[in-house]
Structure 1
Amino acid sequence: MKALQKLRDRIQKKGLRSVIKLLIRRFVFFHSRLVWLEHDVRIPLKPHNLRPYPPVRREFITVENADAFSRHFGDRVETMRELAAEGYTGFMYLDDKGDTVGFAWASTRDYFDRHFYRCLFPIKPGEYFQFGGETIRAYWGSQLTADVQADVWKVMADKGCDKMVDVCDLENTPAIKMHIRMDFQERGQITHVYRLFGRFRFFRDTFYTGSVLDPFRKPAQPVASTATA
């Protein structure tokens, strides 16, 4: 009964078509298109007008301090411990109560994502792969997203990396627009992740020229002209 009530509530909130689409993606067929993006960590971020945010404290994520994720990311505390124990470089940002409000991870070796996509992301020498970056909703659209990126770049550059690479789901419009705003470049590669009946997974890479992000860019504003008599 509780499950049925939850389903009714979701239908009322999202609509029947949206719920059916979600159920198909979860239990029948799912296809993610992960576009590869990159940025030279030696090039500073472009100026932005993101809103300011309350003071936070940055710490490296360790096995011992992963409990700081409990309030806002409670379902991922053990995952954070596992990643720290495996030697990946993790950053978390704590509010004045000591709770994590944002985080990001970096890997200088090939990264196998066994927690979500369950596929391998190969990394070239001199690069690092950034994954798992997120902030709580209260910090969406704030300067924290840019500051996290700049912080990670600096630390990873000190480790000898000159390029950051990551992947972004083409259905994640806010994340795509964030990458465009930060002037990320397309690598010309898409990793396709297929899941059938919630169990079977298949992967393939395709390559392209040009841009798949152009539809997400803001149209150029017309330049005003002045007429002379």
Structure 2
Amino acid sequence: MSIITKVQDRIRHKGLSRTVGTLWKRYVFFHWELLWMERDLVSPVPPHKLRPYEGLRKVDITAQNAVAFSKHFGDRVGTMAELAAEGHTGHMYLDADGHAVGFIWGSIRDYHDRHYYGCTFPVKPGEFFEFGGEMIRAYFGSSLSVDVQVALWQAMAAQGCTKVVDVCETHNIPALKLHIRMGYQEQGRVTHVYCLFGRWKFFRETRYEGSRLDPLRKPGRPVVSAAAQA
């Protein structure tokens, strides 16, 4: 299929404006805003109504067993092996056939994300940086999204950490709502990622006051600090 045919097909399915917007962001310019959030590792997770799941087992990711990502995350096998070899803490969740259906990572030192954003995320003493959390669609809406984080928090607490920090793209509404559900608090800072012509990336950090998550909270749900939940 030629490039022109692909574009025409996308226009038919997505519409002209969405197609032009996608092409612009991919080949000309895009700007991501990454909200910084944090949470202690001991406060309980607020109650949720996510559906249960079964039949999965948690395994530490190593350079040797990263092949388990081949079926559902085939393009990540090399990346997973590299992260494990660098000493980061990674958990994957395997189905009955030994295929990874979800994963998450934590770093106790400054994390340079050369695989996606291209910038370095600083980590202070006592913190760890949580990144790379993902699962296949079959587990969307399940309590796996909670369990993978809690298990990682416990593993990092055993390494001496007392706080988890991470970033979330402002356009990723489901991920922002997950952070609210998990009891994260905003730090009031944003890392901006700019990319020009799909090649050159630039970064800066800004601060803000108030909350950028309040519009996503369910009506009537109070804002409870992590300390108040302890």
Same-fold status (TM-score > 0.5): yes
* Paired letter, 1:68: A
CA distance in 2, matches of 1:72, 1:38: 29
The answer for the alignment partner of 1:100 in structure 2 is: 100
CA distance in 1, matches of 2:213, 2:47: 21
Q: Find the residue that maps to 1:22 and give its secondary structure.
A: helix
The answer for the alignment partner of 2:29 in structure 1 is: 29
Q: Deviations over 1:135-188 (max 9, x none)?
A: 101101100000101100111111110100000000001100110111110011
* Paired letter, 1:107: S
The answer for the alignment partner of 2:63 in structure 1 is: 63
CA distance in 2, matches of 1:128, 1:199: 29
The answer for the alignment partner of 1:227 in structure 2 is: none
Q: Find the residue that maps to 1:98 and give its secondary structure.
A: coil
What's the RMSD between the two structures over aligned residues?
A: 1.1
The answer for the alignment partner of 2:214 in structure 1 is: 214
CA distance in 2, matches of 1:2, 1:100: 34
The answer for the alignment partner of 2:80 in structure 1 is: 80
Equivalent pairs, count: 221
* Paired letter, 2:124: K
* Paired letter, 1:197: F
Q: Deviations over 1:46-98 (max 9, x none)?
A: 11110011320100000110000000000110000100111000000001111
CA distance in 1, matches of 2:179, 2:123: 19
* Paired letter, 1:139: Y
The answer for the alignment partner of 1:8 in structure 2 is: 8
Q: Normalising by structure 2, report the TM-score.
A: 0.93
After TM superposition, the structure 1 = structure 2 runs for residues 103-142 of structure 1, keeping only pairs within 5 Å, are 103-142=103-142
CA distance in 2, matches of 1:8, 1:163: 48
CA distance in 2, matches of 1:212, 1:56: 35
Unaligned runs of 5+ in 1: 222-229
Offset at residue 3 of structure 1 (A): 3.1
Offset at residue 37 of structure 1 (A): 0.6
Offset at residue 9 of structure 1 (A): 2.7
The answer for the alignment partner of 1:224 in structure 2 is: none
After TM superposition, the structure 1 = structure 2 runs for residues 115-194 of structure 1, keeping only pairs within 5 Å, are 115-194=115-194
Identity of aligned residues (%): 59
CA distance in 2, matches of 1:139, 1:16: 32
* Paired letter, 1:130: E
The answer for the alignment partner of 1:46 in structure 2 is: 46
